[in-house]
Each structure stands twice: as structure tokens, then as C-alpha cells.
Amino acid sequence: MQPLATDSKLSISIDIGSTGPAAASPVAPSALNAFGSCEYAQTGFRVYMQVGSSQTTSWFITGFRRNASTAAPIRPRICIVGAGPAGFYTAQYILKHLDNSDIDIVEKLPVPFGLVRFGVAPDHPEVKNVINTFTKTAENPRTYGAEQDNTLNIPNENLQNVLSAREFVAWYNGLPGFENLNPDLSGKSLTLLGQGNVAVDVARIVLSSVDDLKKTDITEYALETLSRSRIDTVHLVGRRGPLQAAFTIKELREMLKLSSCTTRWRADDFDHVEESIPNLPRPRKRITELMVKSLAEQAPNNVPPAGRCFQPIFFRSPVNFVGSGKVEAVEYVVNRLADGRAVPTEQRETIATDLVCRSIGYRAVSVDNHINFDARKGCVNNAGGRVLKRNLTGSDQTIDDIEDKYETGLYASGWLATGPTGVILTTMNNSFGVADLVCRDFNSNTIRLNGSRPGLDLAGRPYVSWHGWKAIDREEVRLGQAKGKPREKLTRIETMLQIASNASD
């Protein structure tokens, strides 16, 4: 197969690279400069995006072109690193607003769509409908990733059965490299540390009926493990109170409606909450009213819940994992609120558990030490999407006072720029904003089209075309239909490559 041709109307390809043990380390985005076929405008133009995690080194390259006229002798050619939501939304906006532009999207997995494929809960198919929009963008005429978990740094965090929610989600969603996680669901209780939507997703999947999950695109190995699960209680623990809970009303409603599952609140957690409701902003008011209503309707504490139980617990911060060999309980400090912050008291509480999932956020990791990266925050240092230089002059000044502060033609979008926050709509708005900066910088000649830097040469390198991805997609759908599911995700890179290699362009 030929490299991406600069004169083709549309070129779409996926370059996979090595899949062996030697490929376990990501290739730095700066390595794009080592290959010489596709040229990028002036000093090069790269937009680094958040993508999913993988244990292999792969390249997913999708080429788009927007034709407004045939007169322009030099065209803007843009490289976007990351084929997740941020990457596709950025490409979508640029294609619409920057005439005569060509875009290559580079991704380390052999399949696109990032967290939409590997992060969205399998029982939320409506959220995955955005894939249709991304596919239209791809069929128009490495990578960084939030792939390292935040840790609590408390005693015994390395005990067996202490996992991260990111790992658990990757396991049931079929992210390659996590199929052998094999979480131990033989105990009676699971504790989720953190109260965001990811934590609620994990709770819902664990507490849901297997018959309901069979209709989703959850992996077959996860379905089999969940069918043998003995977990009947899930604790959702947060350091602050109900008024600060991070989950949304949609996720809470789904939990309250879950069949054969009772939600059990602690009444003491809601002291003075009801009297605060009239002064709350509307979104917070609605979710608080729903919690208070559910609390008022629940059975007395001396009546054991029927079936499985979902128990949110507030004002608790973990300080120690208790156990010999594997986790047996979590010791918490009891918090009080001061100006909206959790302040520890002298009180302690220990709650038994058989499995723990941390859900306290992710952070990006740097694979290119030439980029101005803040390891503490897990973000590329940027101002509105424009990447800041590593060594800024006038450090005693504010960023606004420094003139020569940006890396020309280098931008960050998605979680790499903002940290892992918000929902897909948040990422879309951020990506559109960064893409608008890109268009304005081209139109104002901030990025000059009078030079180029080498791009990626696919000659002699194994890669999978867009037709190859479509073949993988068809095979997953076929396997799913045989089981009454939307698709059965492939999780082995080798299998994906074999299917893709048999597809013709």
C-alpha cells in the first residue's frame, strides 16, 4: 500500500507498527519528524489530543481534505494526534472553516473513537451515537493520553483487590491490554472511592442484571465474570457532602430505577440539606431534590434491603486499607465542610469491603520531553489551547505580558489541555474553541505556509487502511448479532490486524 499521497482527493489509512513486547513504549509525537513523506505547514503543525491507553505502539492515520478551490499552491496540512472525541471534533471544525486544508489524525490503537469506544458504559448506547458523526468526518471527500491513574498515597494501597475504576472500565469495554484483568467479584461488597459519573457507571454495571447487559456491547469475558459475581452491595464514598456530589442527575436516576437494587442513604449525611435547596442553582437543586426524595421514601434502616444495594456515603476520606494479603476493609477519617472544603475531624470509621476501585481521576503522561508538560497537573501547559514554550523569558511577568510565549503551530485540546474533566459535550466545546484558534492563526499568517517539516512516511511500514477499520467494524457487528448484541468488540491486536489485512482498498 502507498503512503498518504499529497495529491489524492481523500486518503485514509491506519498504520499499526509493531505489536510485540518491544512496542510497549509509546512513540513520541516528535518522532513524526523522523519520517519523510507527508509535509506539514511551516515549522510543522501538530495538535495533541487525549486518547485511550494501549499496551502496543500503533498508528491510526486518517486523512481528510477540504477543497474550496484548486488555485492555492501551498495547502495547510495539519497533524492531529489522537483519534478520540477531541481529535475528531477538532478535525470537524477545521474542515468546515479552513479552506484547502488537509488533516491527518494519528492514533496508537488500530481502531478509532477513543473513550467513546472504550470509556462510555455499554448500557449507554445513545452516547455512542456520536461515532456516526465522527465517521462522516472520516469519510469526508503517539500520543498522549489520560492513561495514568491518580493514587491516594495511603498505607496498603498495593493490597490485592485494590484497583482503579479506569482499569475496571477498560476491562469491561474491551480496551486491548486489559482483557486479563480478571477482577475478583467473589466477595459480597465493592467500594468505589469517588462519586463522579465513572464511579456510578461501575456501580451500575456491577449491580445490573446480566440479562440486561447481554443486550449491550459489553465484552463476552466481562459478561461471563459478572454472571458469576457475588457482589450484592456497592458503597460509593465521597469526601464531601450531598451538595457537592459530582455525579449527574441522569446517572442518579438510572441507579434509582435499577431493577432488583435498592438505594440506601445515610440520613445523617443530609443534615440541613433540605433547607438549602431553595437557594441552589437549578441543576444542583434538581439532583438534591431527587436525593432528598429518595431518602424520604427509603425503608427504615432496620429493614434489610431486598436484593442488591447501592449505598452512597458522604463526608469520608480513606486513610488506610486494612487487610492481610488482600483488602478486607477501608479506614476513613470523618470530614466536616468548611467553605465547601472537606476538613478532617478526629473521628474514624472502618467499613468492611472485598474489592476497592479508586475513581479519583486520571492524568495525562508525557511521551515527548520537548513539550512544556506539567507532570503534577498532568496537562500540557497552554493558554487557551496554544502550547506555551518550555523556557519563557520574564518569569516575573504574567503570561499576558510575555510576547514570545507560544510554540508556533503547536496546540493542545481535550483532556491533555484541560485535564480529565466534563462530558463529551465539554470536550466538543473545548475542541471547537482550539480549532477556531488554529483557523485564525492560519488566516492571520501566524502560521506561514512558506516551509514545512517532514511528516510520516508509510512506505515499508505495516498499516491498516480505513477500509481495514471498516472490516474490523463489520466483523464485530457480525459477532455481536450472533449473540443478540450490537457488536462483540475484538480485544486482540493480532486478530484486528489479520482482519484488516484481508480487506481490500
CB contact set of 341 (below 8 Å; sequence gap of 6+): 240
Tell me: is residue 423 an annotated ligand-binding position.
yes
Tell me: is residue 274 an annotated ligand-binding position.
no
Helix (H, G, I), strand (E, B) or coil at 414: coil
- What distances in angstroms separate CA 134 from CA 130, 173, 219, 366, 488, one per listed residue? 6, 19, 23, 26, 20
Tell me: is residue 484 an annotated ligand-binding position.
no
What end-to-end distance do the CA atoms of the chain give, in Å? 9
Strands 189-193 and 233-237: parallel
Tell me: is residue 86 an annotated ligand-binding position.
yes
Tell me: is residue 196 an annotated ligand-binding position.
yes
CB contact set of 321 (below 8 Å; sequence gap of 6+): 154, 155, 156, 157, 159, 162, 327, 329, 330, 331, 356
String of DSSP letters for 184-209: ---SSEEEEE--SHHHHHHHHHHHS-
Tell me: is residue 197 an annotated ligand-binding position.
yes
Tell me: is residue 407 an annotated ligand-binding position.
no
The amino acid occupying position 7 is: D
String of DSSP letters for 322-379: EEESEEEEEEEEEEEEETTEEEEEEEEEEEE-SEEEE-S-EEEE-S-TTS-EETTTTE
* Distance in angstroms (rounded) separating the CA atoms of residues 468 and 450: 35
Tell me: is residue 424 an annotated ligand-binding position.
yes
Residue burial 429-467, b: 16+ Cβ < 10 Å; e: rest:
ebbbebbbbbbebbeeeebebeebbebbbbeeebbbbbe
Phi, psi angle pair for 85, to nearest 5°: -55, -45
- State the Cα angle at 142 between 138 and 146, rounded to 5°: 95
What distance lies between CA 72 and its chain's CA centroid?
Answer: 38
Strands 373-374 and 379-380: antiparallel
What distance lies between CA 71 and its chain's CA centroid?
Answer: 40
Cβ atoms 404, 446 nearer than 8 A: no
Beta-strand (E) ranges in 23-143? 39-41, 46-48, 50-51, 60-65, 77-81, 102-107
Tell me: is residue 224 an annotated ligand-binding position.
no
Q: Cell numbers of 323, please? A: 487487610
Binding-site residue ranges for NADP(+): 195-198, 239-240, 251, 422
Q: Which residues are annotated as a binding site?
A: 86, 107, 115, 195-198, 239-240, 251, 415, 422-424
- Feature table: binding site for FAD: 86, 107, 115, 415, 422-424
